[in-house]
Structure 1
Amino acid sequence: MPAIRLVDRGVIRVSGDDARDFLQNIVTNEMDEVTLERAGYGALLTPQGKIIGDFLVVAVPEEEGGGFLLDCPLLQTADLMKRLKLYKLRARVTLDDLGESAAVIASADGGKLPPDAGLVYADPRLPALGERAITDRDGAHEIAGGEMERYHAHRIGLGIPDGGRDFAYGDAFPHEALLDQLGGVSFKKGCFIGQEVVSRMQHRGTARSRIVPVVFSEGLNPEDGVEASAGGKPLGRVGSCANGRGLALLRLDRVADALAAGHVLDAGGLAFTLEKPGFIRFPFPGEPEFGAAA
């Protein structure tokens, strides 16, 4: 299976006796579900509930030092390290930025990686994303020779958002970035940073803006970041695109109004339609239950 080095990903190590409890108290996901057999997906938020950085959480075997590795956006690594150190206080935790020594690789087409690729784990967001691995940076080129565009085309086709491309760090709520649909938020665990805001959005159903997969006319792609509109009114913004498909952060109530009025949804002169993947549980515009929990 072709493998690709994701050069836009960084790695942070969280180790020490209190590593699991430390993360449990501040990140959005349930750390008790992160085991050697199963990675997790979560985020660190501002107190106002905005995403500082999202990441995959991978447990490290004790014989390799234990603790956890955060497979995170490279551009957010410094900010994540700063915030983690801020919340460390007296916890018996060591934080290390492994950006100079570790690399993240991923399956190009959603399959498995060689077992000797490094610390291999299934992407917890969606089985169709396949496996990833954290490996030594120096030898990564021997394992992964594919181009990142191939990975992102696969991700876009599945409807999986990517921070920095499909939503802005420091500006988006977890619901907008679909963390609630991809197992990235636990609504049963105790408090975490920003929990009050996120829980309120969940229980009141006030997440009006969502990233949704879209399909463009004639199989063409608009420019990334172009505004989406209908009937002369803005709907939101298109993020990453590939092969005539894309991800767009849209006000779904405005999309529903536009469709009811017979307007064409447009992005950069290209008509588009919404396409609902199987993992999304909230109702789309046009579905009978839309408006109750969109």
Structure 2
Amino acid sequence: MTQIYPTDREVLALTGEDAPSFLQGLVSADIAALADGSAAWAALLTPQGKWLADFFVVRDGDRLLLDVEAGQAAMISARLMRFRLRSKVAMAPAGLAVTLGWEGAPPAMGLAIDDPRTPEAGFRLLHEPGEGPAATADRDAWDRHRIALGLPDGSRDMEPEKSILLEAGFDELSGVSWTKGCWMGQELTARTKYRGLLKRRLCPVAVEGPLPAPGTPILDAEGAEAGEMRSGTDGIGLALLRLRAIAAGAALRAGDAVLTPRPPAWLTLPENMPPSVPPSMA
């Protein structure tokens, strides 16, 4: 049965003849390459290359729809419009709701798009409020699904003006383009990739014991710092871990809980990491 989760996310509409080129120079994904009815996962960074927000950009005819975290909608709109200058663009709430679905086909209603990160993630449905499909799942069910896949959930898993884009898998999950030309924060992001400067990654962990609160320090068997907890639910969580802690696959500790890294198949580690990487979480 298809799992259906109605979210509290918001949708912004970016209109005007310059909309694609305007957004192309500001976010990490290739907006110019978007076909009608398709989506890109994109991040908005500071000029210094630190994460501010991420969202899904959907090409819907002559407009671009931004599927954003509700609590960040006003900030995203204000930040983007700072750079409007003489560009012929406008941004306003689209008045649409967002419903997520997985383990089945989307219903024949609204605008259904495949999640651009990985096929296993499912689909996103943009529709008029009150006209979406009936819920069959709640946020905990969605969290279990997306965490097992290693998918971050915006500000629950990343810190504004601190997080580095590549820590969250944007490279492997098609959230960053290396060929489209300049965009805000590109320099630090590219330097991190090509100089091998990345030291930590968001990674799923199996949790035995009480679920650690976000921000809880994670220690290895010797008591050395190995990372910190992010979001989680029902025996599973995302943790920002040092690369060697992920590669070793050994049990870690956060408070009274024991954590075991379960990196997804798409997560790549440097070639000089130990070869014994545990299998993905089922």
Normalising by structure 2, report the TM-score. Answer: 0.89
> CA-to-partner distance for each residue in 1:248-277, whole Å, 9 max, x for gaps?
012224x379x59xx851112222222221
Alignment of 1:25-40 (within 5 A): 25-40=25-40
In structure 2, the partner of 1:90 is 86
In structure 2, the partner of 1:278 is 265
Within the alignment, does 1:106 sit opposite 2:100 as a pair? yes
Within the alignment, does 1:153 sit opposite 2:144 as a pair? yes
Distance across 2 between alignment mates of 1:256 and 1:68: 38
- Check whether the contact 1:110–1:131 (CA below 8 A) recurs between aligned residues: no
Distance across 1 between alignment mates of 2:71 and 2:113: 22
Alignment of 1:1-294 (within 5 A): 1-7=2-8, 9-61=9-61, 66-98=62-94, 101-107=95-101, 109-116=102-109, 118-140=110-132, 143-144=134-135, 146-217=137-208, 221-230=211-220, 231-253=222-244, 255=245, 264-283=251-270, 285-287=273-275
Q: Secondary structure of the equivalent of 1:83?
A: helix
Distance across 2 between alignment mates of 1:2 and 1:198: 35
Distance across 2 between alignment mates of 1:194 and 1:104: 28
- Check whether the contact 2:21–2:32 (CA below 8 A) recurs between aligned residues: no
Q: Give 2:100's aligned amino acid.
A: A
Once the 2 structures are TM-superposed, how far is the Cα of residue 183 of structure 1 from its aligned partner? 0.6
Q: Secondary structure of the equivalent of 1:31?
A: coil
> CA-to-partner distance for each residue in 1:213-251, whole Å, 9 max, x for gaps?
112347x63334322112222222111223322110122
Distance across 2 between alignment mates of 1:122 and 1:280: 20
Once the 2 structures are TM-superposed, how far is the Cα of residue 47 of structure 1 from its aligned partner? 0.1
> Structure 1 residues 288, 146: closer, same or farther in 2, change over 3 A?
closer
How many residues get paired?
274
Q: Secondary structure of the equivalent of 2:38?
A: coil
> Structure 1 residues 139, 161: closer, same or farther in 2, change over 3 A?
same
* Higher helix proportion (structure 1 or 2): 1
Deviates more, 1:278-287 or 1:20-29: 278-287
Distance across 2 between alignment mates of 1:222 and 1:256: 18
- Check whether the contact 2:243–2:269 (CA below 8 A) recurs between aligned residues: no
Distance across 1 between alignment mates of 2:85 and 2:13: 17
Q: Secondary structure of the equivalent of 1:137?
A: coil
Please give the root-mean-square deviation of Cα atoms over the aligned residues, in Å. 2.3
- Check whether the contact 1:42–1:184 (CA below 8 A) recurs between aligned residues: yes
Deviates more, 1:192-201 or 1:268-277: 268-277
> Structure 1 residues 22, 171: closer, same or farther in 2, change over 3 A?
same
Once the 2 structures are TM-superposed, how far is the Cα of residue 145 of structure 1 from its aligned partner? 5.5
Distance across 1 between alignment mates of 2:246 and 2:86: 50
- Give ranges in structure 2 of 5+ residues lacking alignment: 278-282
> Structure 1 residues 269, 121: closer, same or farther in 2, change over 3 A?
same
